[in-house]
Chains A and B, each alone.
Chain A
Amino acid sequence: MSSQEIPEKNLPSEQDTAHGAVAVAEDPFADPGLPPHKPRVQDIDERAAKRSERTVALLFTLSMLSTIGFIASFVAFPVEKIVYVWPLGHVSALNLSLGVTLGLALFCIGAGAVHWARTLMSDVEVADDRHPIEADPVVKAKVMSDFAAGAEESAIGRRKLIRTTMFGALAMVPLSGVVLLRDLGPLPEEKLRHTLWGKGKQLINMNTNEPLRPEDVAVGSLTFAKPEGLEEDNHEFNNEIAKAALMIVRLQPQDIKDKRELDWSHQGIVAFSKICTHVGCPISLYEQQTHHVLCPCHQSTFDLSDGARVIFGPAGHALPQLRIGVNDEGFLEALGDFEEPVGPSFWERG
């Protein structure tokens, strides 16, 4: 695999080169050397050079004026002032004026400097020699012998006990750092398998914060629900809703193709986890005619009339269904927790 396997003759030869080489009559492609410098108009006409100087100075002056404009805008425009500017629409007057003045102040410095360099500074090209990056053999030999001397003096080669224990110590000491990372978080245990749902928990309408009755759920509507007792000001609200979010639709019972789905429904009302089984976005698009729901993040599509199986997109399995019924007061309630973990797949899911 080493380079020696490719014979030197297979490598192309570098074109002959020396800087400023005089063309050899035999080789029409030989390097003719650096072409002569072509003077710019500023190099020969002092009036043109003066014009360039004035342009550069004008740009620098514009920059100063813009900075003053920036400070003036900062003082003059109240932060909440909104103005209509075509074609941008309604924008913050302060943000617009600060951005434009700062942009101009900076841009003019740049434009001035570049114009100065291009028109007035020398544009004669100069050649500089390169030197090989690799050290020459003498230097390398010196380094090798220095290293050998150092290694010899330390006796790291002979005193194997020292060497081995030192490597052992150095290899082990980072373990402390790894161990310290342990308390970054709790172990997963069974946390991903359980949600706040449980037997007898009422389904609370996410919008009205009221318990849902079957008659509240109309055919063709999509209702979002949370478990009873979970309030927004709860410290763990986000962690819990990330698993417990529920979507409820009412189907005609004869439209439900999946036997278990029908058993777990109540008068055609079915409740499924709102959290996509792909990577966990909340599903929120519902197509009434087909009973398909679509995750707006990655377009996984589930058929709610057929056990919420995946009919398109990257999700790997159906949405978990929540078994629901009606309690004595006529409110919808859960008949238990989800029977399988909600949300994205994970290694221990099984």
Chain B
Amino acid sequence: MSTVTDDKRKAPAGERVADWADGRLGIYSLAKANMRKIFPDHWSFMLGEIALYSFIIIILTGVYLTLFFHPSMNEVVYHGSYVPMQGIRMTEAYASTLEISFDVRGGLLIRQIHHWAALIFLAAMFVHMMRVFFTGAFRKPREINWLFGFLLFVLGMFTGFTGYSLPDDLLSGTGVRFTQGAILATPVVGTYISFFLFGGEFPGHDMVARFYSIHILLLPGIMLGLVVAHLILVFYHKHTQFAGPGRTNKNVVGMPLLPVYMAKAGGFFFLVFGVIAAIAGLFTINPVWALGPYRPDQVSTGAQPDWYMGFAEGLIRVMPGWEINLWGHTLALGVFIPLTLFGLVLVALAVYPFIESWVTGDKREHHILDRPRNAPTRTALGVAWITGYVIMLLGGGNDIFATHFHLSINSITWFVRISYFVGPVLAFVITRRICLGLQRRDKDKVLHGRESGIIKRLPHGEFVEVHEQLSRQELHTLTAHEQYAPAEIGPSVDENGVERKVTRGQKLRAKLSKGYYGEGNQIPKPTADEYKEITSGHGHH
């Protein structure tokens, strides 16, 4: 810059730094595309932000915890400041967790922020996924981002599990034992996987060190990469938006990143962090000091995993203890079926976008979100999935329900066994009816206007309620959604009278398509003709 003499004005320092960086990183081109990038506004778009921010909080607090935690299973006799545990044999992992909780100033707070943030991270991802599911935001071009998000959720579950196993306390050790028992049930390779994972027999001397490297390096490393990819794709695809006046599939309406979303999203990070810090200060989470160190021959009652593992716990609890012994081998179906279901329940989430796009045959880009009511079958499927999930969550807490509500554990277990099959079906039917009802109400509102609450008496004595016409904006918003016609197989012979071969896949698709979009499975939206006929005043009111 010093060679430029004819430029009288000396650029301000900030600009000179930016120039320097631009010459090396090309930041101006990057900023041109992104600094004033438009983001649409809706409360449900914050759910993903909560997940992102709690992930950042987990990394920050996790780094702090590694400074004090000793990931070792060497046995020591405790002589620290927590009196009830003095003189007790425990692993260094457990002893250092006690030290973090009782001797390091602020250590307990950071430990509790870390744990609370993990619970909230998983919950936020779960609800964020529901938002994306029920509004159809997973459709083209966002299927891959759905998969990234799905992987983040699943990896988050395992990172959480390996994390809460590290203190090697009685509760977490019980959870690890359960996992080892489940691994043993895997046919053919289970015993080997268990011996390799634990470095020999359970619990062995390697578990904490191995879980530690998985928990702080392997899984979070992958997750960090996925988070970055997830965000890049959000930027690249531009955010989805709900239908409304001026909002189309070809534009994105909202406010710019700088300054509005910089302030809102940046501020929201502090809100999330602040709330989690306050929760961690006020409410104890995972009091590892309460039950003592892990011993394979001891257990407490009311043992529960963190919430996101609860449905797996339910599956394993309510499954009947089937076991097959043949040819010198044992197939522990009572454990292996829950283990398989655990995977299938999750995989169903991952593949759903591809199934729906196969049924619709729609290969266009979708940037306008569906209101859940306008996709009744999808919404009903989602609610059915959640119902099954929640029922298993209840099953995972069957002992807690039994003791708190004085119920028989056997009846709760049987209730869960039956309702796992009945509940989702009921939920599906009810949800779809509700969606169709809401569609009918929307149609009614479009055609007949809104009930104004004003009762008018006509000259001949009849009372009628005055309906208020919707504004053009509202009319557009309520009719902007797309409706598919069901796919048909077509005639069984082609135009030359030769029999057409109809594959089983085509038949299945036609059937599914009818289930999604057939008569009675969606309410045809009002047409302009219907509207005009009614509003032209030929005595329909």
- Which A residues form the contact surface with B (CB < 8 A)? 1, 3, 5-6, 9-15, 17-20, 23, 26-35, 74, 79-80, 88, 91-92, 94-100, 102-114, 116-118, 121-130, 132-133, 181, 184-188, 191-192, 206, 224, 226, 232-233, 235, 238-239, 241-243, 245, 274-275, 278-282, 284-285, 296-300, 310, 312-317, 343-350
Contacts and interface: CB of A to CB of B under 8 A. Distances in A.
A185 B284 CA distance: 37
A186 B141 CA distance: 48
11 contacts: A10-B487, A32-B245, A32-B473, A99-B280, A100-B281, A128-B251, A275-B296, A279-B178, A279-B181, A299-B398, A344-B180
B255 A110 contact: no
Given A26-B528, A96-B282, A296-B303, A242 B328 contact: no
B178 A280 contact: yes
Contacts of B329: 347-350
Contacts of B503: 1
Nearest to A88: B282
A28 B271 contact: no
Given A110-B274, A185-B199, A241-B295, A11 B484 contact: yes
B261 to A, nearest CB: 8
Contacts of B184: 279, 344-347
B498 to A, nearest CB: 18
Interface SS of A by simple majority:
loop
Contacts of B246: 19-20, 31-35, 125, 127
Contacts of A113: 263-264, 266-267, 270
A95 B505 CA distance: 61
Contact of B185 (A132, A344, A350): A344
Nearest to A300: B321
B29 interface: no
B252 interface: yes
Contacts of B531: 28-29
Interface string B162-189: 0000000000001001101110111111
Contacts of B300: 296
A300 to B, nearest CB: 7
Nearest to B248: A17
Contacts of B252: 127-128, 130
Interface hub of B184, B269, B320, B365 (most chain A Cβ within 10 A): B184
Contacts of A12: 482-485
B44 interface: no
B480 A280 contact: no
Contact of A185 (B113, B196, B320, B398): B196
A95 B281 contact: yes
Contacts of B236: 133
A29 to B, nearest CB: 4
Contacts of B196: 181, 184-185
B323 A102 contact: no
Contacts of A110: 267-274
B103 interface: yes
Interface hub of A28, A127, A206, A235 (most chain B Cβ within 10 A): A28
Interface hub of B180, B294, B302 (most chain A Cβ within 10 A): B180
B315 to A, nearest CB: 10
B310 interface: no
B37 interface: yes
**What interface size band does chain B fall in?**
35 or more
Nearest to B184: A346
Given A3-B361, A113-B263, A312-B410, A345 B245 contact: no
Nearest to A350: B328
Nearest to B272: A110
A281 B199 contact: no
Contact of B106 (A94, A224, A297): A94
Contact of A35 (B192, B297, B446, B473): B473
A15 to B, nearest CB: 5
Contacts of A184: 196-197, 199
A215 B105 CA distance: 52
B191 interface: yes
A122 B260 contact: yes
For the complex of A and B, the 9 pairs showing the least CB-CB separation, nearest first, are A99-B281, A279-B181, A113-B267, A107-B274, A103-B278, A34-B246, A6-B361, A110-B270, A316-B323
Given A92-B108, A130-B250, A233-B75, 9 more contacts: A1-B509, A11-B361, A102-B109, A102-B278, A103-B274, A122-B255, A127-B252, A128-B38, A345-B185
B89 interface: yes
A188 B238 CA distance: 53
Given A28-B532, A114-B264, A279 B335 contact: yes
B45 interface: no
Contacts of B320: 314
Contacts of B5: none
B260 A28 contact: no
A296 B105 CA distance: 36
Contact of B81 (A28, A80, A187, A315): A80
A155 to B, nearest CB: 33
A29 B484 contact: no
B190 A346 contact: yes
Interface hub of A121, A298, A299 (most chain B Cβ within 10 A): A298
Given A33-B245, A110-B271, A121-B259, A79 B102 contact: yes
B154 interface: no
